């Protein structure tokens, strides 16, 4: 009996020992897990601290040297000197950012000037890696499927040594019929080409006969005659290219921040806007890595050598004034950028 009793005591001791060992093992496992967890947290906090210590001076440097504002300026200038009828709102919303691998990015709103309205048209996304080119993506708020949001201008036949023709855009009569059905209480943005290239102030003088405002003019830079390696399209006798655009003056400070600007081209602002055009293109070529940079250099050289000639315009005004423009023999290849209810200052 004593032997059996001793055996039972030994079994109880072994059972207690196993329970104790399991409890100790669980404690060790939880201690290990907590230790690993705290190590991970400390590591993440250290990485975050190092990230902050790295990004703060980087962002300060890019901000103080004007590189971030310069990226917004670069994107704004690229869009507004290439896409007819479109302007960039760089006064509101997000601005340029920089990430840890020094990739710059920005998203800016696009709008169209239709009468006194600034009508939202979409946005432009831009990104530039440290040693890469600027990559632009324009996202338009399309109203109609297959809509051509930024049609190009038709080069004057005389520039291409072609005979001038009285033919106008095949859609002009249809356009006139459409506009005739719209009431007086509307304003329109319109884009058109000019059959004969002329100086900017000459076209402004011609347009001063109408109650419209001028926002952009395509500048002839030797495309198709002196510059051959440029993309173009043809429709009948007309050749279309994406031009450099003369636009209203925008003044930037020494850190590339928007300082002041004028709203539209006029007799009062045209000379300053022409000076700004040369400054803009020179600044782009010097500071921007972008597709078409070499062609821009050729174009600005051509314009400086031969003088500035324009061959179209983007304008806005009351619908009845746009109808008068369509009847002007010198103008052709019309496109509408938008129609809105009346919002126009006759003064």
Task: Specify the pLDDT at position 148.
Answer: 75
Task: Specify the pLDDT at position 132.
Answer: 87
E strand residue ranges, the chain: 87-89, 97-98, 104-114, 117-128, 135-140, 153-154, 186-198, 213-219, 232-235, 238-241, 244-246, 250-252, 258-261, 310-318, 331-341
Q: What is the pTM of this model?
A: 0.82
With a pLDDT cut of 70, the percent of the chain lying above it is 89
Q: Where are the domains of the chain?
A: 67-341
Identify which of 141, 143, 81, 88 has the alpha carbon closest to the alpha carbon of residue 110. Answer: 88
pLDDT digit string, tens, across residues 270-300: 999 999 999 999 999 999 889 889 999 999 9
Mean pLDDT of 312-322: 96
**Ramachandran class of 222: left when φ > 0, alpha when ψ lies in -120 to 50, beta otherwise:** left
DSSP-derived secondary structure for 82-119: TSTT-EEE-SSS---EE-TT--EEEEEEEEEEETTEEE
Task: Specify the pLDDT at position 94.
Answer: 66
Task: Specify the pLDDT at position 25.
Answer: 66
- Average pLDDT score over the chain: 86
pLDDT digit string, tens, across residues 179-238: 999 999 999 999 999 999 999 999 999 999 999 999 999 999 999 889 878 888 888 788
Task: Specify the pLDDT at position 168.
Answer: 47
- Contact between 313 and 99 under an 8 Å Cβ cutoff? The reply is no
């Amino acid at each position: 009996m004593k032997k059996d009793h001793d055996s039972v005591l030994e079994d109880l001791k072994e059972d207690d020992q196993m329970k104790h060992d399991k409890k100790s093992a669980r404690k060790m496992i939880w201690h290990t897990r907590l230790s690993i967890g705290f190590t991970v947290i400390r590591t993440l906090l250290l990485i975050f601290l190092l990230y902050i210590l790295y990004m703060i001076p980087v962002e300060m440097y890019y901000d103080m040297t004007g590189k971030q504002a310069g990226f917004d300026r670069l994107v704004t200038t690229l869009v507004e000197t290439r896409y007819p009828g479109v302007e960039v709102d760089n006064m509101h919303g997000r601005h340029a950012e920089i990430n840890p691998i020094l990739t710059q990015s920005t998203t800016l709103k696009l709008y169209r000037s239709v009468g006194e309205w600034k009508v939202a048209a979409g946005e432009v996304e831009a990104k530039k890696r440290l040693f890469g080119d600027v990559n632009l993506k324009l996202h338009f708020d399309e109203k109609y499927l297959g809509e051509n949001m930024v049609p190009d201008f038709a080069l004057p036949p005389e520039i291409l040594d072609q005979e001038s023709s009285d033919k106008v855009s095949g859609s002009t009569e249809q356009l006139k019929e459409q506009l005739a059905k719209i009431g007086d209480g509307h304003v329109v943005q319109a884009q058109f080409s000019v059959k004969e290239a002329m100086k900017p102030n000459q076209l402004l003088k011609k347009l001063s006969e109408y109650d419209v405002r001028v926002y952009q003019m395509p500048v002839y830079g030797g495309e198709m005659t002196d510059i051959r390696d440029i993309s173009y399209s043809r429709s009948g006798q007309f050749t279309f290219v994406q031009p450099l655009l003369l636009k209203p003056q925008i003044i930037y400070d020494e850190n590339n921040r928007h300082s002041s600007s004028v709203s539209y081209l006029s007799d009062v602002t045209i000379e300053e806007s022409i000076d700004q055009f040369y400054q803009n293109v020179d600044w782009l070529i010097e500071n921007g890595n972008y597709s078409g940079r070499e062609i821009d250099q050729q174009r600005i050289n051509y314009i400086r050598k031969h003088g500035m000639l324009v061959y179209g315009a983007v304008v806005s005004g009351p619908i009845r004034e746009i109808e008068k423009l369509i009847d002007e023999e010198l103008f052709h290849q019309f496109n509408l950028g938008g129609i809105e209810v009346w919002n126009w200052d006759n003064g």
